[in-house]
Structure 1
Amino acid sequence: MNNNSSNLERCADADKDNLQKPDIYLRHLPCPESIPQQAFTFFEKIRENLSRTIQVGEYHPGFILWSKKLKEFISLYGFSFTKEDHIKLIKLYLSIISSTDISYSVAQICFDSLIELLQKIELLTRDDLTIDWWIFYRWVKRIKNHQHKTFVMVPSLKEFETVILHCTQSCSPYFSSTATQELLDEFCPHLCPFDRIAICDTMQIFDYFLPMNLPPHLHDQGFKLWLPEFFNLWENINNETIWEAYLVNLFSRLAWYNIGYIDWTPWLNQIFTHFLRGFSLPIGKTQKTTKKFIYSMGDVAQWTVAM
């Protein structure tokens, strides 16, 4: 027993300088010198049990329980594990949701765990990790079509779709450099303005999956492939449908993640004309309007600030 304890202490000391981002406020707690050892022991227990539950196929309750323990660990100790372990955990959850033979509850805990693990984008680079966008699209498609028997009886599909959306946005900085072109090739043929359902569904997919937060050297393979065309579509079609809201959200997030890299000056008149028209301000003697502003005020404000 003493030998095991001393081995754990040596391992904890060896990894102390290689940890991703431990909680800096732990040093102000009583007995701070014992906290790294506690964190190391807790994490080893989580890692061991996650591995065991996957090997024996014990998703309920074992895998869900220890995934929640991982979330608890990050909340208590921060990212007190090495980059290697960080990447392994992400790949573990990605491999599980890559399977089609898992339940709603297991899938949701995987998406929640990925959101937690990827909340600090500065800890991992694109060289460390590449994520396939198709994994998330398959889940969105399954929810939309209600094809899977496990999901038909789930009462909170909308909530689950929101979790997938948040997870996709957390993972999008790690999509491959060809992901944007793949998405455009796959879905641009469905951008028919005369088919409101098709264009709405397609814009929603683009809003979900197009990577926004790419490094400058990949901009030619990112937003520059679609921004002029999408803006031209928004400028020339004004039928106030829901797909315009998806498009504005797309532009808003693009502007926010690429401040200083996009020159919006040539489009300012059109942008603010759309905003003013969307407010449905009264004209002349008409003091009331029943039209509703279709754009999210948060998106409009974010886009305006980021331009």
Structure 2
Amino acid sequence: MLQYFRRMGRETELGFLPQRENIYNQKLPRSRDQDKDSNIYLKEIKLNLSQAVVNNDISHGGVKWVVNLHKYIILYGLKMSKEDHVYLIKLLFGLLTTKHVDSVSLDKFAKVLYALMKKKYLITRADLILPWEPLFDLYKYWEDSTLVLRGLVKPASGFKAQLKSIIKVSRGYFTIESTQEMMDKWRHLMCPHDRSICSAVKYFSLFLPTSRGIPPDKSWKIWLPELNMFWSTWGNSPNWEVDILKLYARLAVHQIGELDWEPYMGDLYTRFMVSFNLPVTYGGSGIRLKHGISGQPCVGSISQWIVSTLGPGSSGQRYLSRLLVALQSYFHPANINNSSELLHVFISLLTTQFINRVHTERFNTKWVCKVAPEKRLTDEDIKEFVLSVKPIAFHVLYNSYEDEARNVFANLSLLHPELIIPDLLDNLIF
């Protein structure tokens, strides 16, 4: 209630309700004078940026005032009304997707647009809808066009990574019909005997929206059975399965408790086991070519998917317990091998992802948790998870991977200290 009255007081002082101010400015001397300065600066930025767009002066005037907008955000935060916030996002999005603009200018537009959009809880789908086609055209030009592949056009340093970040924060604002449009546009590329399938799956992984704002019938129900059919049919660890795994992990995180993963669990856990490249050999049978998820470190996506599928009504914990029992002996100090580093990173990320989910469902106050109350992790779920990881944790304690061991015990002690700390003290003292 006190916070509500403070926000109403700020609305009276500024003339608008700020989205997200830089709270540390209140500690500076003459902090009240900053309101007048910030209002004048923001008004000047909006005026000159609009004039630059009207006059088609993008490379000079547009860049200059976009840089000034970035300075404003650094100084004052998102100290603007929701209407101005949405207006500036649309303006920067239009500048970014303008054709025939050099990559240095585009990089500046992308950085400022990301600063405006990264706080997703400030702008809902009801406030903003963005088209996906211009963003895809821009990405395809700088990633897969003939000019770029032949080295005739060079993007600015870091621009392609920044562009991917923009796509990630923008896909939650794509239209309801966007998923079907993407499937229609890229389905013809899905030929497993041609390299085109790698591009198609890469586009799917990067662009397909998985947020709850779009109904399931218009979102993941369109593509999940089809992509799973491809992955199940070609079980020889193709290169494109890495992107499918990333897409599955993101879908699981965004749809916790909404999507039934039971039909997919057995196959996915088998693939996870294979991805660790464990030294199971007999004669010369241990010689293998690493490809697909076995050839790339995918433990981040694997741990995300596993943790997101745990909870009431799910058999995920049963599958996870079996996986950890099968892996347990490989964590013993006497069995250190080439896969040990990957295994230790996996168990560390697994506990970190579990902590993040518990925090989001129980202690997060920035935004409302979208996981249904009956699908959230219970105390019994937390206890079962800790008990399943505990034997491996005490193997990790005696290995040389100190950072991972520290992280695992810190996370498990936060989740269930009664099960971890007494045994840990006994091992350390005696």
Instruction: Name the counterpart of 2:273.
Output: 276
- Say which SS state the counterpart of residue 18 (structure 1) adopts: coil
**Counterpart of 1:175 in structure 2: which amino acid?**
F
In the other structure, the counterpart of 1:202 is 200
1:297 CA displacement: 2.0
Mapped partners of 1:295, 1:229: distance in 2:
25
CA distance in 1, matches of 2:222, 2:141: 28
**Equivalent residue pairs, number:** 293
Correspondence list, 1:54-203, <5 A: 54-146=53-145, 153-156=152-155, 159-195=158-194, 197-203=195-201
- Which residues of 2 match residues 216-295 of structure 1 at below 5 A? 218-285=215-282, 291=290, 292-295=294-297
Higher relative contact order (CA 8 A, sep 6+): 1
% same residue = 27
Distance 1:211 1:158 in 2: 27
Q: Which residue of structure 1 lines up, in the alignment, with residue 304 of structure 2?
A: 302
RMSD: 2.5
Cα distance, 1:169 vs. partner? Answer: 1.1
Distance 1:304-1:143 versus aligned 2 partners, 3 A rule: same
Q: Is the 8 A contact 2:210 2:219 kept in 1?
A: yes
- Supply the AA of the counterpart residue of 2:308: A
Change (3 A) 1:152 1:239: same
For the residue of structure 2 that corresponds to 1:19, the secondary structure is coil
Deviation at 1:36, TM superposition (A): 1.9
Deviation of 1:163 after TM superposition, in Å, equals 1.9
What is the one-letter code of the residue matched to 1:79? L
Structure 1 residues without counterparts, runs of 5 or longer: 1-11
Q: Quote the Cα distance in structure 1 between the aligned partners of 2:137 and 2:196.
A: 18
Q: Is the 8 A contact 2:14 2:35 kept in 1?
A: no
Contact 1:214 1:222 (8 Å CA) reproduced:
no
Q: Which moved more, 1:158-167 or 1:72-81?
A: 158-167
Instruction: Return the offset for 1:167.
Output: 0.5
Distance in 1 of aligned mates of 2:45 and 2:192 = 51
For 1:207, the aligned partner's letter is S
Q: Residue type of the partner of 2:126?
A: D
TM-score, normalising length: structure 1: 0.86
* Structure 1 residues 24 and 259, CA gap change in structure 2 (3 angstroms): farther
Task: Flag the structure with larger Rg.
Answer: 2
**Secondary structure, in 3 states, of the residue corresponding to 2:80?**
strand
Amino acid paired to 1:85: D
1:7 equivalent in structure 2 = none
- For each residue in 1:100-136, what CA deviation from the matched residue of structure 2 results, as whole angstroms up to 9, or x when unmatched? 2322222222222221111111222212111110011
Contact kept, 8 Å, 2:179 with 2:219, in 1: the verdict is yes
TM-score, normalised on structure 2? 0.63
CA distance in structure 1 between the aligned counterparts of 2:87 and 2:171, rounded to whole angstroms: 18
1:279 CA drift (Å): 1.6
The answer to whether the 8 Å contact 1:20/1:79 transfers is yes
Quick one: which amino acid aligns to residue 294 of structure 1?
Q
**1:152 CA displacement:** 5.2
Please give the alpha-carbon distance, in whole angstroms, between the structure 2 residues aligned to 1:39 and 1:148.
Answer: 43
By how many angstroms is 1:199 displaced?
Answer: 0.5
Contact 1:190 1:198 in 2 (8 A): yes
Q: 3-state DSSP class of the match of 1:226?
A: helix
Q: Deviations over 1:246-285 (max 9, x none)?
A: 1111111111122222222232111110011122212244
Query: Equivalent residue for 2:326?
Result: none
In structure 2, the residue matched to 1:9 is none
> Can you list the C-alpha shifts for 1:75-107, whole angstroms capped at 9, x where unaligned?
221111111111111111222234323222222
CA offset at residue 290 of structure 1?
Answer: 6.0
Instruction: Look up the equivalent residue of 1:53 and give its one-letter code.
Output: A
